[in-house]
Chains A and B, each alone.
Chain A
């Protein structure tokens, strides 16, 4: 592989990993916000 190939591989992995982590965080925050809302509603109902 040429130097450019290695550079593209490295940059692709760095950006890909950061993008995946951001997507995972966004999904986690959505799920947690839903759980908080559900628990608060259940608490209020009692």
Chain B
């Protein structure tokens, strides 16, 4: 029953929620106001913020699973941390892609190194790309232990990105929810829900692949010992 819910119901729920979020963000609300002018380009932020929330949840899970792995040394927690990092990195990539697409028509440039949120998000991307490279470069027990420690330390950048975004809220006209009207808030909440469900569905799929990877490792280890 649990597997049926996670493997069948969750992806369908995520897909339906994404369709609803797409409809809400494109047609439900009036163009959000930016700098006193309604701009359709602001509709990107429903997907941008949803992706950012999913990436944040992914990186939080990496930290939590890494702590549990260090405490219990059970391979499944290590596989869960790796799955959360990979899916989190996918969403972080989407944040870094949709951000500049918003910035170009609004700021007149794709990227600004003077913008701390862009820079801290890019640092975040490199940290978790580094985490995955570390796992790939150092296989075995040493690699999983090093990755667990790295996964805990890397999370420090997540609150830095969040508080940088809040500190510069006037630039984006969206992160402070109390400052936007009810319709926009509802569409944003729907997008957040849709992206979190999508994260859950992708995480579940990646974790299933991770469990198979651990099984292959164990069987190859057994085969090596017998040979």
Are chains A and B native binding partners rather than an unrelated pairing?
yes
Known contacts A39-B219, A43-B223, A10 near B205 by CB under 8 Å: no
In-complex Cβ contact of A17 among B26, B90, B208, B222 (8 A): B90
Q: Is B202 an interface residue (CB 8 A)?
A: yes
Known: A25-B205, A32-B216. 17 other contacts (CB 8 A): A3-B41, A6-B41, A6-B101, A6-B102, A6-B104, A7-B26, A9-B101, A10-B97, A11-B22, A13-B101, A14-B51, A22-B205, A26-B205, A29-B205, A36-B212, A39-B220, A42-B223
Chain B residues engaging chain A, CB cutoff 8 angstroms: 22, 26, 39-41, 43-44, 47-48, 51, 90, 93-94, 97-98, 101-102, 104-105, 198, 202, 205-206, 208-209, 212-213, 215-216, 219-220, 222-223, 226
In-complex Cβ contact of B94 among A3, A9, A17, A40 (8 A): A17
CB within 8 Å of B: which A1-46 residues: 1, 3-4, 6-7, 9-11, 13-14, 17-18, 21-22, 25-26, 28-29, 32-33, 35-36, 39-40, 42-43, 46
A-B contact count, CB below 8 Å? 78
Closest chain A residue to B226 by CB distance? Answer: A46
